[in-house]
Amino acid sequence: MAYQRVEIGPEQIAAQEAVCARLRAHFTAEGKTPLALVDTYGCQQNESDSERVRGYLAEMGFGFTQDEFAADIVVINTCAVREHAEMRVLGNVGALGHSKKAKPEQIICVCGCMVQQPHMADKLKHSYPIVNLVFGPHELWRFPELLERTLAGKKRVFAVTPGDGNIAEGAPRQRDGWPKAWLSVMYGCNNFCSYCVVPYVRGRERSRRPEDVVAEARSLVAAGYKDITLLGQNVNSYGKDLGAQTDFADLLRMVNAIPGKFRIRFMTSHPKDATEKLLRAMAECEKCTHHLHLPVQAGNDRVLREMNRGYTAAQYLEKVALARRYMPDLVLTTDIIVGFPGETDAEFDDTLRLVEQVGYDAMFTFLYSPRVGTRAASMPDPMTRQEKQRNFDRLLEVANRISAEKHASYVGRTLEVLVDGPSREAGMLSSRTMNGRLVHLPGGEDLIGQFVDVKITGSNTWALRGELVK
Ligand code: 5AD
Ligand code: SF4
């Protein structure tokens, strides 16, 4: 797949920042502090993109709010992976009619993967007149310019040109997850799994230069971040488009070599490209968490072939066994799709068997959702929604039982955790073990950002409970 690398240079970003300065004068006239609401759907890459939107908005002088009635600008960063997420977005965009009525000058922007699909951009154009600006993932770097155009003209702005995507370095970013940080290492996907819309909306695989990734990681460590997640749709393809001098395993070692106490995680690994070299690097890098998110999607070979996944169930299991040889304490998580077109009950049973055999620590399970333009959307799909739901419920039961058993085996152990924020329960903190398990513990917020030892005292399906060891 020939991809012509498109780099957005520092001078182009500087031009956007000059627009930010002009807009700042406009928005902060008469000493006002304008407010923005940025709402994010979907994956971590979207979270990371929203940090860039917020970075630009902050340069324009905006503060942030969760209240749509207080917001001068609303930006909704959307997801297209399943219909459910799209329905939620459309419902919430529609509901903004109320705030727009109360505040007619409010600017409503919708961006991200959903709008990169032409039929969805059309829908917003024709059925959602309250939306002022629509832009796809490839246009994010020039959000200020698009916003300025929206403000200047009478017409609504739609910037959703098709394309393979670009790499923009140096755009401002407002992070909000300390002590955790997202660090994109690559964008896009070339795999074209037959059910998936991502390659259509996020473009071709393109890797950031290793020196740019390492420089960003260094600055995160210097700024006190303790938990860095390297992001990519398929990190195991990292570097292929750069001539493969540095692959993902090499990159992991480079980030691991940065001095300081912090943890490194990464998402997502495609099983077909998870190499022994990567597993060895994970095992040997002392900062790398022993957690592998290895989406299997299905346990039946015919279904895997139809999904265009590029591995058989046996090959997947071999990879899991190899990973566990390198890391006996490995935490394994996965994604599974139930009800892929044509999947029979017997084929689904193969998924259940594989799940039992692997024993995942946690699973993300999804009912298949047809996506416009994908190959699977035109495959015969005779199973009823009810039958699919029944299989889904069976899978969830098995998944929950296994997770609960795995979690129960932690009780009594003492582990180091990183406290990463308050938990929803008053007086409780949320933290993560080295291999990524969630631990709730009582304690003051002064512990946030610290590594502490906890004794695990209880567990359930989703989390552990612990107490500080003095
Ligand atoms: N329907 C249901 N689930 C999907 N995923 C991707 N596309 C679809 C779809 N069309 C799931 C996969 C992927 C996760 C991010 O979302 O399991 O790994
Ligand atoms: Fe979608 Fe497959 Fe790419 Fe993951 S690897 S983003 S499931 S096409």
- In this prediction, residue 465 carries a pLDDT of 97
Please answer whether residues 114 and 81 qualify as being in contact, where contact means their C-beta atoms are separated by less than 8 angstroms.
no
The span from the CA of 236 to the CA of 233, in Å, is 9
pLDDT at 1 > cutoff 60: no
Atom of ligand 2 lying closest to residue 81 CA: 1
Residue pointed to by tokens 């071709």: 204
Which DSSP letter does residue 168 get? E
Q: Which atom of ligand 1 is nearest to the CA of 367?
A: 2
pLDDT at 470: 78
The predicted model gives 104-130 an average pLDDT of: 97
Q: Determine the average pLDDT of the residues in 351-380.
A: 98
CA 111 to ligand 1 center in whole angstroms = 20
* Whether residue 104 has pLDDT greater than 90: yes
pLDDT for 2 equals 67
User: 426 or 311: whose pLDDT is higher?
Assistant: 311
Question: 325-362 burial, b if ≥16 CB within 10 A, otherwise e?
Answer: ebbeebbbbbebbbbbbebeeebbebbbebbeebebbb
Other Cβ atoms less than 10 A from the Cβ of 136: the count is: 26
Report which ligand 2 atom has the smallest distance to the Cα of 202.
6
- The pLDDT score that the predictor gives to residue 318 is 98
Mean pLDDT for the stretch of residues 220-233:
97
Percent of the chain predicted with pLDDT > 90: 95
pLDDT band at 4; cut points 50, 70, 90: confident
Q: Is the pLDDT of residue 428 over 70?
A: yes
Question: Residue range 153-182: average pLDDT?
Answer: 93
User: Which structural domains are found in the chain, ordered by start?
Assistant: 7-159 (3.40.50.12160), 177-289 (3.30.750.210), 297-307+316-408 (3.30.750.200), 414-468 (2.40.50.140)
What is the CB < 6 Å shell around ligand 1?
81-82, 195-196, 295, 297, 335, 337, 366, 368-369, 371
The residue whose two tokens read 């929203």 is 50
Q: How far is the CA of 2 from the centre of ligand 2 (A)?
A: 19
Residue ID of nearest Cα to ligand 2 atom 1: 196
Mean pLDDT of the residues in the chain: 96
Q: Which atom of ligand 1 is nearest to the CA of 295?
A: 18
- Test site for ligand 2: of 187, 234, 304, most ligand atoms within 8 A of the Cβ: 234
pLDDT of residue 176 exceeding 90:
no
* 46-71 mean pLDDT: 97
**Per-residue pLDDT averaged across 257-262, rounded?**
98
